[in-house]
Amino acid sequence: MAFKPANKIQDLQYFGEFGGVNPSISDSSTYTFLSAKTMFDTFEGNADGCYLYSRHSSPSNLYLGEALAAMEGTETANVSASGMGAITPVLLQLCGAGDHIVSSRTIYGGTYAFLKNFTPRFNIETSFVDITKLDIVEASITKNTKVLYCESVSNPLLEVADIKGLADIARRHNLKLVVDNTFSPLSISPVVLGADVVIHSLTKFINGSSDTVGGVVCGTQEFINDLRNVNDGASMLLGSTMDSLRAASVLKNLRTLHIRMQQHSFNASFLAKRFESDGLKTVYPGLKSHPSHELFKSMMNEKYGFGGMLTIDVGSLEKANELMELMQNKNLGYLAVSLGFYKTLFSAPGSSTSSEIPEEEQIEMGLSDGLIRFSIGLDADIERTYQMMRECMQELNILDTKAEIELA
Ligand SMILES: *Cc1c(COP(=O)(O)O)cnc(C)c1O
């Protein structure tokens, strides 16, 4: 694929107010106008380059948005205070009372809770489907459907969405395809594959330092203008605005994303292969055994690999908890939710990030009790990490010591 997302970020040129190599940080909530007429025009949304009030837009937020739009190949983008602060206004902008959404059933727990428990208050209904089955997706569309919603690589089961196939369906039924690309920045470029709107939680890989929450919506100028509209824009009116200081710090971290993603992917791929050959039930899109391995390959910007997320199933929640505690004691990572950090993070999704999903539904979608989700860190010596993790697993009889003899 010819699309080179990291080049698009690298090629942006910034001159700060005083010639600084970083753009100056805008430290104002409000902006002066030289004439009253310009203020009126700006409220009407037709005074380009004028700032009004920082909930609407601010120079620092626009710089970060510009870089993320470049990465995703969209006309523009709108950053927000969190990933949920990007997802919820997009869905409320695209849907009103009586409308219907077809969503993947394996999505981030917060998004699931929003669609399952919150949007019905506004008479917006959602059908949750197995997104890997395009015929089921299409059959779930009704005359009221407005949005197809999925994650390119789903949380936590690492199912892969066929974005081209979904985009075809969306086009035929006049729907918007909205893709949460949080798990696969740079690796997958959903808009290039036909998606209409791409969302990220910047909290994860993109910022990469687990020091803030943040989000972004990447889309057409028209759609982003709609979100920011002072009269009926969901981003503007719900008010989930990122702070300028934070936008500046996320922008600086974004510039090393391509290097970090390569290392996350390298390390995750290394561990996934070893875990699998040790006989552990391992899910990683880079493994040939992954049901969507070929699909991921056909969509990916190869250089960035299959991502930093993997899961293993150790049989029971008890074992999972024991293993996570032991690994944390050995300083192999943190027992923590979230992802994209320089240290490995692990959690048991069934009892944490996906606990919003009822137990029967968890079972149906293959979210088992013994599942551990790993966000693999930037470890410089992944072989050492693997050896130490294996020792932990042997100590808890998750791996028997025979595996060691066979490998030696
Ligand atoms: C974390 C996450 C979100 C929510 O983002 P916040 O920044 O926590 O609001 C949405 N989607 C996915 C896939 C996530 O991992």
Ligand 1 atom nearest to CA at 155? 13
Q: What is the mean pLDDT of residues 350-368?
A: 77
pLDDT for position 343: 98
Relative to beta strand 371-375, strand 309-313 is antiparallel
Q: Residue 61: name the closest of 43, 86, 78, 84 by CA.
A: 78
Residues 108 and 81 in one domain: yes
pLDDT for position 33: 87
Domain count, the chain: 2
Q: Tell me: pLDDT of 402 over 60.
A: no
Q: Is 216 in the pocket of ligand 1 (CB under 6 A)?
A: no
C-alpha 31 to ligand 1 mean position (Å)? 32
Cβ-based neighbour number of residue 215 at 10 Å: 27
Q: Is 82 in the pocket of ligand 1 (CB under 6 A)?
A: yes
Residues 41 and 64 in one domain: yes
What does the pLDDT look like over 30-55, one tens digit per residue? 999 888 888 888 777 656 677 889 99
Q: Which of 107, 108, 202 to mutate to test the pocket of ligand 1 (most atoms within 8 A of CB)?
A: 108
Instruction: Give the structural domain span for 290.
Output: 257-407
pLDDT for position 155: 85
Q: Tell me: pLDDT of 307 over 70.
A: yes
pLDDT for position 157: 87
Integer CA distances (angstroms), 335 to 97, 129, 308, 345, 348, in order: 41, 30, 16, 6, 9
What whole-number distance in Å separates Cα of residue 268 and Cα of residue 266? 6
Q: Which of 241-245, 252-256, 332-336, 355-359 shows the lowest per-residue confidence on average (mean pLDDT)? A: 355-359
CATH number at 314 reads 3.90.1150.10
Cβ-based neighbours of 197, under 8 Å, separated by 6 or more: 90, 176, 177, 178, 179, 217, 218, 219, 223
Given 207, 225, 254, the domain boundary residue is: 254
Identify the band that residue 357 occupies on the pLDDT scale cut at 50, 70 and 90.
confident
CATH number at 192 reads 3.40.640.10
Residues 31 and 45 in one domain: yes
How does DSSP assign 144-199, residue by residue?
TEEEEEEESB-TTT--B--HHHHHHHHHHHT-EEEEE-TT-TTT--TTTTT-SEEE
What whole-number distance in Å separates Cα of residue 118 and Cα of residue 89? 13
pLDDT for position 16: 84
Q: Is 200 in the pocket of ligand 1 (CB under 6 A)?
A: no
Residues 52 and 201 in one domain: yes
Name the pTM for this structure.
0.94
pLDDT for position 207: 98
Residues 224 and 266 in one domain: no
Instruction: Select the more confidently predicted residue: 77 or 408.
Output: 77
Q: Measuring from atom 6 of ligand 1, which residue has the nearest CA? A: 83
Identify the band that residue 401 occupies on the pLDDT scale cut at 50, 70 and 90.
low
Given 225, 254, 283, the domain boundary residue is: 254
Structure tokens at 311: 């899961």
Residues 103 and 87 in one domain: yes
Q: Is 204 in the pocket of ligand 1 (CB under 6 A)?
A: yes
Residues 242 and 363 in one domain: no
* DSSP H or E run through 361: helix 359-364
Q: Measuring from atom 5 of ligand 1, which residue has the nearest CA? A: 83
Residues 236 and 269 in one domain: no
Residues 246 and 273 in one domain: no
Q: What backbone phi and psi angles, to 5 degrees, belong to 201?
A: -85, 115
Residues 171 and 284 in one domain: no
What does the pLDDT look like over 192-221, one tens digit per residue? 999 999 999 999 999 999 999 999 999 999
Q: Residue 68: name the closest of 249, 255, 333, 232 by CA.
A: 255
C-alpha 85 to ligand 1 mean position (Å)? 9
Rg of the chain over Cα atoms, rounded to whole angstroms, equals: 22
Q: Which of 80, 82, 84 to mutate to test the pocket of ligand 1 (most atoms within 8 A of CB)?
A: 84
Instruction: Select the more confidently predicted residue: 325 or 361.
Output: 325
Residues 301 and 242 in one domain: no
What whole-number distance in Å separates Cα of residue 170 and Cα of residue 322? 44
Q: What backbone phi and psi angles, to 5 degrees, belong to 300?
A: -80, 155
Contact yes or no for 108/215 (Cβ under 8 A): no
Q: What is the mean pLDDT of the chain?
A: 94
Given 221, 238, 254, the domain boundary residue is: 254
Q: Is 180 in the pocket of ligand 1 (CB under 6 A)?
A: yes
Q: Is 260 in the pocket of ligand 1 (CB under 6 A)?
A: no
Residues 189 and 268 in one domain: no
Identify the band that residue 166 occupies on the pLDDT scale cut at 50, 70 and 90.
very high
Cβ-based neighbour number of residue 132 at 10 Å: 19
